[in-house]
Structure 1
């Protein structure tokens, strides 16, 4: 197959304008207008409102190109769009080819008869999404999230573009993925599906190869499906003996296995398995399937063929990982298990939910995605959930997840809404499913497909958005019939889950704590204390979160006016989409810390609240490994500068939570379940007030090897001097957690004494922390007099007293450190500089929240 890229410099204009301006494809309307100075930064102050009005217009993209590279000699030529956002009419040399109506689909048009040797004009008219949904809502008043614009459910476009409780109203448009001409000579490879059969010392790859040339579909006995033209056009020469394929598999070490003659299967001896991050190597094999016409090569699959080759028509090349992956569900003493099972081992999923990386999709690149996902791996993630209110990410997203060992929980793109399943809508989403299943099914990282986000819970458990009985019928048809049927045909080896949260479908108590996955929001939305997590032993938590503000330097991207630097200012609340959330943060802050005296301290304290809230949950869930097998917090990233639940803000700056995640997702984790003032739930001023003061340590071992570790604890005063201590050697079997005995401190002064703890293995401290018996605001910290010095690529921090949550910032607040927001028991601690320049270093701790 011959390909000719049509990417690069195009021209664009608003329909009705006289002049064109330069545009870049792949790209979007907003990114082009912004680049050309035709709009203001939509993220700055309240420019979002001006940007939204721009989407009431239609936009036209035009390019001219020659028909080169042998395309004119091909049997067929297709104009191929990998992604159009979203409503478009396509014209070639003045002829209307057709329209597009779904940003989640691939679009192709036959163009051979319209092409000229030179000066072909391709024109794409993108229609207003805002006008479309307004009109559609008048016809079909189907409801969904109140944070999004009315009618958003009536268009197959990323829902969050129309607003969310962390997202702006910025429904961009564009040719956001590549545009290509495909020259097909006789036939092309439509798809390749590889099923894996794992034995004791070998993996058998079963190939299902589909090729097409146009016309009617046929299949031969070897599993090669093809379409042969019957009316004299296209690949009429192909017959059951005329098309065949050859497979070449290249192992991670470079060795190759080749099988000719359209093999139905190929055996890999002594396979190098793919494992999630933390459990083994991410070995990837390259598979090449080459389609041929003419005389068929034959011979043993383990030998290279020496006879002359037939005509090569097309090549499909991808990387795969040899692994088994499913979700293990089995009745047990607590209900029913729910765990990713990889190569026969149940793993504890640790990660976060991923949303679109930018409201302006033209700014998302392989490098931006790699940088973000590498930060996830750095924080010991082994799992990423792709949330259903965005769009199916680019191929490179999954390639990077394959390389980094991040198991992908993949939602289909439906979230917090109901849909009118008309025949047209069904045909549209069926094509969407097939396109994306075929595109993604080969990835080693693909862990499961999930039907939707929160619809079983909100719509049917809470009776939200439901307006007519037909919507219940349509729900069951979409998620419990149509999607499973399509997956059974196109990807039967990947586990399917009907909704998140769910106990397995059928509207059967979707938030059951003893089955399936849950979204737990009582801490945050329910205003419950952090210790509330300890009341629950969920099987898998796929959403739970707590908000914070981003870094000061990120906030400076939305306003350069110091009068806006107040969390209740107009500009700050325009960048806070969760209603009363700023007040909620301050409510939790009142419970935990002293009232911050300046804006920057509010930002710092909010990040500590967020980090501790999620830490309480994750540590509890990991202490109960086996019963709970997943902690995926909401959310990893942002799509614009905003107050949100993210651990990495829009500018890529790590919040305290992300550093905490690196610790609470560590393969070997020592955590402490303390009992004290905060866990008692009693009024400090109540007469005769008594409560337990104790600790119970736990070691969680999320590795495939037994660990022998030394665990230490100490009761200390504000100077970090040890008043009482203990030490124990502990053997922790692989993939388990082990409790140590409770230790009580009935005489401890909760205002002047605290607990430190650490885990040592082979002479290295791998996990440590501190806990208070009182709220941090009541503890009588002494000034730690924090200082630092630079030693090569390290920063050495010194403290003269107990320092809680030590923050290291540079001038640009973009340092990436091996650790940050850590506790110090006086003394020194060194951290490695992984990114950013150590200029203008500032230090602070909880002592400075006042």
Structure 2
């Protein structure tokens, strides 16, 4: 097998649609892999769609067509040689032409394509072109044929196999990209090639089991002899003989005392290389290389007195999932590199997460993503890419969904991090609750995919991993009998808190597994500065609202603030209030879910990341900067957690120990006045078993405030702290000037010691306001009167005193009006 990349020499030009005159006549150099947007940006022909209101200025893209062109110069096929033109990904509605002859048409960005071109190569350069037509217009035509099906947004994204959020989402832009978005190459081969290799690694006690399936394509030139595929893992070798005419086979290899792969926080992540060589009697024909990890993953859905469990079990050990939902890290996907993925996934690991859910409105992620998750021990929950809509089960949609599923199940099979396949996002819930049934009038909506097709494909191609029909859903139950979002079964999405209630609404439900919940906030200040003009720093400015996609998003932000503190009129103060509320909402929900283990066995926050600068539920903004909520999440997802919750009107202390060692110690409980005067105190022995939760109920006099406006309940143990306030911020007698700072040089930047003269809540340093590249090590620290905390700031900024500015050194104190004001 000889593979030759075809990534150079391409141009792209408009081929139709409402393209502006200055662009329509201009062929520009094209980067492959790439998209038209990134090429026109590089040629300075369009403004950056992420800035200001530029997204709206580029809506003409939606109905435009584009032509990629290059010259293909390749030697003619030798006798008995097959030559294929291979596209790993085309976005999305494409026509491929070589030397004036059409090779094929595509309409699915989630799969690859292969064309036999052996009869079209002459040695001289021949023109190769790929024309991309409007995916929107294609979807509209499919919709006319198959019928319009419910969806949450105007464009019929559910009628074309393109990344759903390409068409806009409540956190993403509506750009509708087009281009050769994955590698393209020529492959020369003879006799046979490895069409698919599926290494499936599991554990049987201490013995690793590696089952390798191979599918081969024969050349079709009359060569139909015997073949053998040799499989090697370490010192262990297996053979897959393929007799004349056979195109598939398998072998199983036992690996005694195999190194065991574990999720992060539960053990190491050793990976074993698997080599597959395809041979005939003349020698090697093709080769495939992969890495596997030996582990076994199951899903415990045992019925119990509550409903039924939903627990991921790895190597026989139940895992409490501390997860995050993952959307595409950049809307312009082809800008993503391995380094970008490494940084983004690293921020999840640094926040103590052990799972990423690849959400169903995006893509099957890149090989880099899964490779990094393998190496870091991050479990992957993989949605099939169907989201928030009804999907036709008829052609041309059906065969495309099944084809992409087959390809990607096979592609992802080796990865030990891949823990769970999920049928789609909110589609089963939508069918039950979002008035779909009347709109559908009996039309198909996707049930066959979720309940028949995907389980059948996985049973045939990858029976080693569990499958869940949808998030949320109550598996094994008729959705009309047991609601798909019932908290007693399966998975739950909690969106009533954000949409209509308050983050404290989480206390009303004890889900078995919560796979979506979250709270919005704008991006960090520096990211706003990079994406908006100074005059647009107003929550009602058109440019700011262009980056707030949620329905009544600002209204929900204001109401969320108002339930706990005053809503600031000043934009900078409002920005801090929204970020602080997001952080508190995150901490509250996570502590609630973790504190009710083992009834609840998973917390998957919506969401880790953004794909552009936007007000959203992400804890890391579109520029990769950590919001305050990221620090709240890191504390909430720490292996050990102390938190107060209210039971029967009184605070109780919850201690979570998600380690393999018992947690023993003495917890110091105090009720303290804001000025530091002690009111009550007690020490209590605390013992929490490994991977368990303990609840401590302090004496009534300790948890009953004498002056609710001026007292705080504090629990300290092993450098962890939990605090409980007896009133909302707007009724608390905070001292707004309680903080001072001492700044000293330190390695890589500065150490900033903050001291409180009165109780200070949620102390933070918003260092990016001074230096966009600055990073602080901690945030949202509660200080009692007389206490200090030293923050470490990584920065090259020359003026350390800038970091003591009141705009940088923040707390909740200044946001809440003093009592009686």
TM-score (norm: length of structure 1): 0.88
TM-superposed CA distance for 1:663, in Å, is 0.5
User: 2:725: which partner in 1?
Assistant: 772
- 1:650 aligned to 2:629? no
Matched, 1:177 2:182: yes
Aligned to 2:269: 282
The answer on whether the counterparts of 2:67 and 2:130 sit within 8 Å (CA) in structure 1 is yes
Give the Å deviation of 1:514. 0.8
Residue 121 of structure 2: which of 115, 118, 121 is its match? 115
Aligned-pair distance for 1:122? 1.7
Unpaired stretches in structure 2, ≥5 consecutive residues: 17-23, 242-249, 817-821
Supply the distance in 1 between the matched residues of 2:64 and 2:734 (Cα, whole angstroms). Answer: 59
The CA distance in 2 between the partners of 1:833 and 1:420, in whole Å, is 53
CA contact (8 A) 2:272 2:293 kept: yes
Please show how residues 689-700 of structure 1 align to structure 2 within 5 Å. Answer: 692=649, 694-700=650-656
Of 649, 657, 672, 1:701 maps to 657
Cα distance between partner residues in 2 of 1:386 and 1:410: 5
Q: CA deviation at 1:467?
A: 2.3
* Corresponding residue to 1:846 among 791, 806, 812: 812
Query: Superposed, which structure 2 residues align to 1:192-207 within 5 Å?
Result: 192-207=197-212
Distance apart, 1:833 and its partner CA:
4.4
Change (3 A) 1:440 1:648: same
Cross-structure match for 1:366 = 338
Where do 1:655-694 residues align within 5 Å? 655-674=627-646, 692=649, 694=650
Q: Closer, same or farther in 2 for the Cα pair 1:58/1:735, shift >3 Å?
A: same
Deviation at 1:323, TM superposition (A): 0.5
The answer to whether the 8 Å contact 2:198/2:411 transfers is: no
Describe the SS at the equivalent of 1:113.
Answer: helix
Partner residue in 1 for 2:3:
3
What is the match of residue 493 of structure 1?
464
State the match for 1:75 in structure 2: 81
In structure 2, C-alpha distance between the alignment counterparts of 1:272 and 1:816, rounded to whole Å: 37
784, 788, 798: which one aligns with 2:738: 784
SS of equivalent residue, structure 1 residue 557: helix
Deviation at 1:100, TM superposition (A): 0.8
Greater CA drift, 359-368 or 812-821: 812-821
TM-superposed CA distance for 1:724, in Å, is 2.7
State the 1:9 CA deviation.
4.7
| Cα distance in structure 1, aligned partners of 2:251 and 2:666 | 54
- Secondary structure of the 2:574 match is helix
User: Which piece of structure 1 moves more, 10-19 or 539-548?
Assistant: 10-19
CA–CA distance in structure 2, aligned partners of residues 503 and 475 of structure 1: 16
Q: Name the CA shift for 1:836/1:414 in 2 (closer, same or farther; >3 Å).
A: farther
Quote the offset at 1:259 in angstroms. Answer: 4.1
Question: Aligned-pair distance for 1:836?
Answer: 7.2
CA distance in 1, matches of 2:81, 2:290: 26
Aligned to 2:761: 804
1:30 alignment partner in structure 2: 37
Please say which of residues 800-809 and 38-47 is displaced more in the overlay: 800-809
**Cα pair 1:143 1:466 within 8 Å, conserved:** no
Residue among 497, 514, 518 paired with 2:488: 514
Q: 1:120 and 1:419, CA in 2 relative to 1: closer, same or farther beyond 3 A? A: same
Count of aligned pairs: 783
Deviations 1:182-202 (A, max 9, x none): 112211112222334533321
Cα 1:837/1:179, change in 2 over 3 Å: farther
Shift of 1:277: 1.3
CA contact (8 A) 2:202 2:294 kept: no
- C-alpha distance in structure 2 between counterparts of 1:786 and 1:137, whole Å: 63
* Offset from partner CA, 1:752-778 (integer Å, 9 cap, x none): 111222221xxxx2x323221111222
**1:233-248, aligned counterparts within 5 Å?**
233=221, 236-239=222-225, 242-248=226-232
Residue in 1 aligned with 2:107? 101
- Listed as ranges, the matches of 1:253-652 within 5 Å are 256-260=235-239, 264-294=251-281, 311-464=283-436, 466-472=438-444, 474-504=445-475, 506-507=478-479, 508-527=482-501, 529-562=502-535, 564-652=536-624
Deviation at 1:832, TM superposition (A): 4.1
Residue in 2 that maps onto 1:149 = 154
| Structure 1 Cα separation of the partners of residues 670 and 559 of structure 2 | 32
Which residue does the alignment assign to 1:84?
90
Alignment partner of 1:730 is 2:677: no
1:441-495 per-position Cα deviation (integer Å, ceiling 9, x unaligned): 21111111111111111112343375234335x5332211111111111111111
Question: Hey, what's the Cα distance between the residues in 2 that align with 1:197 and 1:166?
Answer: 38
SS in 2 for 1:431: helix
Residues 837 and 444 of structure 1, relative CA distance in 2, 3 Å threshold: farther
In structure 2, distance between residues paired with 1:73 and 1:178: 27
3-state SS, counterpart of residue 169 of structure 2: coil
Task: Give the CA deviation at 1:71.
Answer: 6.8
How far does the alpha carbon of each residue in 1:703-761 deviate from its partner, in whole angstroms, 9 at most, with x for none? 2222223322222222345433222332211111011123333343111111222221x
The Cα shift of 1:414 comes to 0.7
Deviations 1:339-365 (A, max 9, x none): 111011111111111111222122222
Aligned-partner Cα distance in 1 for 2:554–2:447: 38
In 2, Cα distance between equivalents of 1:742 and 1:8: 70
Distance 2:542 2:321 in 1: 39
SS in 1 for 2:473: coil
Distance 1:318 1:559 in 2: 45
Q: Is the 8 A contact 1:408 1:446 kept in 2?
A: yes
1:43 equivalent to 2:50? Answer: yes
Would the aligned equivalents of 1:712 and 1:758 in 2 still touch at CA under 8 Å?
yes
- Asked whether 1:55 is paired with 2:62, we answer yes
| 3-state secondary structure, aligned to 1:786 | strand
- Give the Cα–Cα distance (whole angstroms) in 2 for the partners of residues 352 and 587 of structure 1: 25
Range that drifts further, 744-753 or 256-265: 256-265
Give the equivalent residue in structure 2 for 1:748. 706
Deviation of 1:817 after TM superposition, in Å, equals: 3.2
Does the C-alpha gap of structure 1 residues 29 and 616 become closer, same or farther in structure 2, counting only changes over 3 Å?
same
SS at match of 1:572: helix
Q: 1:221 aligns to what?
A: none
Contact 1:674 1:773 in 2 (8 A): no
Is the contact between residue 142 and residue 153 of structure 1 (CA under 8 Å) also seen in structure 2?
no
